[in-house]
Amino acid sequence: MIDLSADLASWMAAGGDGRQVPDPHTGLTKYRTTTTPRSGVALGSCTASWPTQGAFRAAQLALEGWRREADPSDALHAAAHEIRERLARLLGLGPESELVLTPSGTDAVYLVSALCLRDDAPVHHVVVGASELGGGTLAAARGEVFNPLTPHGGPAEVGAPVAGLSGRCSAEPLYLRDRAGERLSPDEIDERVRSRVQAALAEGARVIVHLVAHSKTGLRAPSLRLAESLVRERGERVVVLVDAAQGRVAPHDVRNALRRGFIVLFTGSKFYSGPPFSGVLCLPQRHPPPALPAGLQAWTARSDLPPHWTAARDALRVEHNPGLLLRWIAALEQITRYHAIPPQKRGRVYHTFASAVLERFGPSEILQIDVPLPPVHHLVTGLGAYPSVFGFHVIANSEPLPAPALRRLHAHLDDPRGPTPRFHLGQPVALGPPTDEAPAVLRVALGAQLVIERARDPDAGAAWFREHLGVLRERLEGLVRSGAHLSATESS
């Protein structure tokens, strides 16, 4: 019998990893979010969001319904099925597609590896944009534990092998920027990807190419042309994983990728402003896989998988992940409300947001927007191609601040003891190969909740964005002038 007596706030942090567990002293997660609705200016959807009142209420109603069942197991199986069905309808997917729920986008990488392991051939990941994806992506691609807490296996040692994956999986990073943080050209990235894929194929591996539909700073690579040519030339020896974990793609972009035989990693917890973490793998229909590697029992529950994946489900010991299901129910509330808004109204909000960021953040001696807007990826069209994440450097003493100093500013802006409104921004991102000296940016992002709220405004949120981004600029400039970015040692 499943015990569902814990409150919803606890369930929102259950069935995932340490990134979503609140600190008992601050009530905030690693990403400075909460498991319950809270106040603040939510500009951090590119990292994580707290649940809205409506999303939280939808999850609460579901939890109360499960508790009324004599044995809630059947209700949880039905909930998992309904979540997949609703997602399929919202994305416009037909029966030719499969949906697999995952606790997070990073966890999904384990499952992709497992699905590609066959014929005793090793699997090699070419992780494009490695420094601008989830921090554990490389470790997960290598078949290693990336977080000290697993969804179903309890505490674990970071770097420990995942049974059935470690030793059979390898990964290498490919960065989208040079050491100065400058973007590489699309042609140069394509050339590097092709070279690394060919080298791995020559060693007998099956290669998984991570095609980034939207990195942490809005970059997209490699090109669709290259991805298609690799699959055409190498067939099943090359698998393209579209990393759309930011959720900043339109439904037809997901369908477009699946028609090409690509796998799509999607979440409801970034752009769509659902509670972290709620991931899903969208796969072209294929034969049900055999039993999954033993190590995946720590990350995957039976009801996460389609019912006809009999062998894979039978290999798992945990029946359900109620926390994951509740987070997806909350996220689906957001996704449904967002898509109920006419596309033209949504598009106006995108434009007013971008205009307000460029107007309020420049020119400034302290804030510097991260170069020009990224080029549109051929796989991403419509609203998914509009800029919705803006990285910016913070300058002090004529030098861009590194990530540790930006983290201090990030915390100051969201300090409950500080001035109101509190600003929740996207966490700092190091640009290029990760080093102590790597340039870094903070980020402001448009999320679905802001679109839902501002689409009601006659000016599509223009005045609201200008006002709040203006206050944010003043707050940031004041913090830098006061030395809030300095560590205790530096300021003493």
Rama region for 164: left / alpha / beta (φ>0; ψ in -120 to 50; rest):
left
How far apart are the C-alpha atoms of 25 and 122, rounded to whole Å? 45
Sequence-separated (6 or more) residues with CB below 8 Å from residue 169: 113, 117, 122, 123, 124, 125, 141, 142, 143
pTM: 0.95
CB proximity list for 314: less than 8 A, separation 6 or greater: 291
At 492 the pLDDT is: 46
Q: Taking a C-beta distance cutoff of 8 angstroms, is the pair 103, 17 a contact? A: yes
Structure tokens given for 276: 């972290």
For residue 57, what are its two tokens? 């209420």
Q: What is the pLDDT along the chain (492 residues), one digit of tens a residue?
A: 789 999 999 999 999 999 998 998 888 999 999 999 999 999 999 999 999 999 999 999 999 999 999 889 999 999 999 999 999 999 999 888 999 999 999 999 999 999 999 888 999 999 999 999 988 999 999 999 999 999 998 889 999 999 999 999 999 999 999 988 889 999 999 999 999 999 999 999 999 999 999 999 989 999 999 999 999 999 999 999 999 999 999 999 999 999 999 999 999 999 999 998 899 999 997 778 999 999 999 999 999 999 999 999 999 999 999 999 999 999 999 999 999 999 999 999 999 999 999 999 988 999 999 865 555 566 666 556 678 999 999 999 999 999 999 999 999 999 988 899 999 999 999 888 887 778 899 999 999 999 999 999 999 999 999 999 999 999 999 999 999 998 766 654
Distance, in Å, from the CA atom of 282 to the CA atom of 243, rounded to the nearest integer, reads 11
Domain extent listing, the chain: 73-332, 343-491
Q: Identify the residue whose tokens are 């960021």.
A: 357
Task: For domain 73-332, give the CATH number.
Answer: 3.40.640.10
Closest by CA to 318, choosing from 10, 5, 14, is: 14
Which amino acid does the sequence have at 394? V
